[in-house]
Amino acid sequence: MGQVSIRNVALHFTSRRVGTVTALQNLSLEIPDKQFAVIVGPSGCGKSSLLHLVAGLTEVSAGGCYVDDDFITEPGADRGMVFQNYSLFPWLTVKKNVEFGLSIQNMSADQRTQRAQHYIHAVGLNGFEDAYSSQLSGGMQQRAAIARALANDPQVLLMDEPFGALDSQTRTIMQELLLRIWEREQKTVLFVTHDIDEALFLGDVVYVMSGRPGTIVDSVEVTLERPRHYEMVTSPEFIELKRRIMVNLHREVEQAMMQNQAL
């Protein structure tokens, strides 16, 4: 199971320069098992921070995050994460990167190889098993990072703008690849992006976050049928959903910008 509950979460940062900043406030979210949930919000709204809270990399200031009603206190292999910056271990080959989590669990070499091979195949990196990350393009590095997270068989997959640094053609291909894998794997996904097209194309539900302090202001059920194809982004249904999110997001971005000017 992989039901993620975020209950009345607040997050404060204290820095010497600006004092205490409230990044998240009164934020609650219930993500059912196996849902592909996408969070969109203006930049600096704390959507990445929210993902870090669920990962257990940052501690909540108030409230709590839960996976299947277990309070999250620290990071764990049950919540895999893919970062925006290419975060492969540069001293390991693609195969060793994908096996990394499995070797921590002391899985036998045979089993590791088998699992790693399965996911390397799933992300289309056959033939690059022995390559180092410096030999791979950005898109290929992210494929390997996704394979590494999935090979660990987490209950929840956290994705922090994983395609944000890719060119738009590569991004489209990566989105479709991710959906194909997710349809087979059936995992809870929490995906953060600022790209509305990406959010609608991928998600079951798109949650819209406000500017700082971040909280959820809208949730949009994406009624597009699955499996999704990229032509869907031009359908009237897609455009209608996009309009709704845009209006919301536009207002939040404007407010966030005014806030920043006031600071």
Decide: is 105 part of the binding site for other proteins (CB under 8 A): yes
- Least Å distance, CB 11 to other proteins, is 16
Decide: is 75 part of the binding site for other proteins (CB under 8 A): yes
Decide: is 83 part of the binding site for other proteins (CB under 8 A): yes
Decide: is 100 part of the binding site for other proteins (CB under 8 A): yes
Stretch that binds other proteins, among 2-10, 20-28, 78-86, 121-129 (CB under 8 A): 78-86
Angstrom distance (rounded) from CA 33 to CA 35: 6
Among 15, 91, 127, 221, binds other proteins (CB under 8 A): 91
Decide: is 189 part of the binding site for other proteins (CB under 8 A): no
- Spatial CB neighbours of 57, under 8 Å, sequence gap ≥ 6: 75
- For the record, the structure tokens of 202 come out as 């991928």
Among 237, 258, 256, 260, CA closest to 248: 256
Comparison of 116 and 241: residue with beta carbon closer to other proteins: 116
Among 80, 203, 211, 214, binds other proteins (CB under 8 A): 80
- Spatial CB neighbours of 119, under 8 Å, sequence gap ≥ 6: 98, 147, 148, 150, 151
C-alpha Rg value of the chain to the nearest Å: 19
Q: Please report, as residue ranges, which positions from 123 to 182 form the binding site for other proteins (by CB under 8 A).
A: 132-135, 145, 148-149, 152, 158
Angstrom distance (rounded) from CA 124 to CA 142: 11
